[in-house]
Amino acid sequence: MRFVATHGYVGVSACWVACASLTFQNGEFDLSVGGIGFGIFGKAAGLNAFTPQNSEPWTLGGCAAFDIGGCAQVAKQGRHIDWGGGVVVGEGWFGGLMVNVASFDLNGSVSILGRKL
């Protein structure tokens, strides 16, 4: 159960050429932009082997859905690359590099482009 609480994520995303997503994982909200795609994915949920607090401020991944679909992503955490994946509801596709532009956690800590304020 602790693994799901730490590594599980929920989020929303949308793409209209460029993409944006807002996710919540391990007590932290992350706003990311980038990639290329078309379609509004709506809601997503899944598991990441990485946690946002310990990974670089970028992920490389892709999603595809027609009513329901899937996502896969990787992120650098320390000296290795970790994976993630989930289920997405909506229609469209996405692929590319997403950059975390802003993060804030439930304790009030804020980061911009991976740097704590």
Give domain limits for the chain.
2-116
pLDDT of residue 100: 92
pLDDT of residue 28: 93
CA distance 117 to 114: 9
pLDDT of residue 76: 87
8 Å CB contact between 54 and 107: no
Q: How far is CA 5 from CA 2, 24, 46, in A?
A: 5, 11, 11
* Beta-carbon contacts of residue 23 (< 8 Å; ≥ 6 apart): 9, 10, 11, 29, 30, 32, 44, 52
Ranges under pLDDT 50 in the chain: none
pLDDT of residue 78: 79
Token pair for residue 41? 């994915």
Q: How far is CA 52 from the centre of its chain?
A: 9
Q: How far is CA 12 from the centre of its chain?
A: 9
pLDDT tens per residue, range 36-63: 998 876 788 999 888 888 888 888 999 8
pLDDT of residue 9: 92
Whole-model pTM: value is 0.86
pLDDT of residue 116: 85
Dihedral angle sign, alpha carbons of residues 42, 72, 102, 109: positive
Q: CATH topology for 2-116?
A: Lipocalin (2.40.128)
